[in-house]
Amino acid sequence: MKSLVLEKKQALSLRDFPAIDKAEETLAPHDVRIKIHTVGICGSDVHYYTHGHIAPFVVNAPMILGHEASGTVIEVGTVVTSLKEGDRVCMEPGIPDPSSKATRLGLYNIDPAVRFWATPPVHGILRPTCVHPEAFTFKLPDNVSFAEAAMVEPLAVGVHAATKARVRPGDNAVVLGAGPIGLVTALAALAAGCARVYVTDLAQRKLDIAGSLSPAIVPVNAQSENLVDIVLSHTDGWGVDVVFEATGFPPCCQSCL
């Protein structure tokens, strides 16, 4: 099957990938086989292409990219009960060790042994089909498109952030960074009850998108406006209740405090 392969830094190809072909032939009892429909392009995919690594994860051998995906179930394992052929689904890209301490504590998302699509040496999902565990495959409502379903994985980051922050109705929040994660975090904060969310970035194009999402989102251009002054003036000097950091830039992390 033809897959989008990162051969090495700044070198992509669309070609058959024998290792994946062989692995995809096996369907375990708890697995489903999925025909891929839509795959999102994450910043990490781009970074692996431009830099060849992210922190300790280095592309030392050809790797298939992609981890934000949706598709249709075309085969089910012998003990699968929640899904059937023809179901439209999205998939969770990280599979933890079921016996790890993190998993047993209900914190499987931070399991150090997690196998995450498109994180070396684990291959990604920019390919025609995949085999995936039933437990990490989710049926889509009829009103959710394949494109929207491919965004569920990044959206989950924002939802998890709003949940961890214990957003309460009427809170005001700041989101530093108007990239995809910053924007889904802003939307999740509003859905959790925030009355107003200030979103800051250096790129006006991103801020224009942020402002178009909701009248409760206040875009702030960090190059020409002072975020602290704006927030204090809008809140009678009180400030915001929650700050979300979505840039990874050290000075922004410090400014949260």
The DSSP secondary structure of 82-123, one letter per residue, reads S--TT-EEEE-SEE--TTSHHHHTT-GGG-TT-EETTBTTB-
pTM of the complete model = 0.89
Q: Which domain holds residue 171?
A: 156-256
Which pair of tokens denotes residue 61? 């051998």
Separation CA 162–CA 119 (nearest Å): 26
Q: Could you tell me if 41 and 83 lie in one domain?
A: yes
144 and 162 co-located in one domain = no
Verify that 34 and 112 share a domain, yes or no: yes
**pLDDT the model gives residue 81:** 97
Whether residues 118 and 25 fall in one domain: yes
Give 112-119 contacts, CB < 8 A, sequence gap 24+: 116/67, 117/66, 117/67, 117/69, 117/93, 118/42, 118/44, 118/45, 118/48, 118/63, 118/64, 118/65, 118/66, 118/67, 118/93, 119/44, 119/54, 119/57, 119/67
> Could you tell me if 57 and 136 lie in one domain?
yes
* CATH number of residue 17's parent domain: 3.90.180.10
Looking up tokens 């042994």 gives: 113
Nearest to 25 by CA among 129, 159, 147: 129
**Distances, alpha carbon 19 to alpha carbons 2, 6, 15, 94, 125, in Å:** 12, 14, 12, 20, 13
pLDDT at res. 256: 84
Which pLDDT score, from 0 to 100, does residue 248 have?
87
Give me the DSSP letters along 132-154.
EEGGGEEEPPTTS-HHHHHTHHH
Please tell me the predicted confidence (pLDDT) of residue 155. Answer: 96
Q: Are 145 and 161 found together in one domain? A: no
State the Cα–Cα distance between residues 203 and 201, nearest whole angstrom: 6
Query: How many structural domains does the chain have?
Result: 2
Q: Does 144 lie in the same domain as 30?
A: yes
Of 150, 179, 204, the position where a domain reaches its end is: 150
Q: Do 109 and 163 share a structural domain?
A: no
80 and 129 share a domain?
yes
pLDDT at 18: 85
Of 128, 150, 172, the domain-final residue? 150
Last residue of a domain, one of 100, 134, 150: 150
pLDDT beneath 70: ranges in the chain: none
Mean pLDDT, rounded, of the chain:
95
Residues 134 and 190 in one domain: no
Q: Which runs of consecutive H residues, i.e. helices, occur in the chain?
A: 18-23, 43-51, 101-104, 146-150, 152-164, 180-192, 204-213, 227-234, 250-256
What pLDDT shows up at residue 29? 97
**Each residue's pLDDT tens digit, 153-167:** 999 999 999 999 999
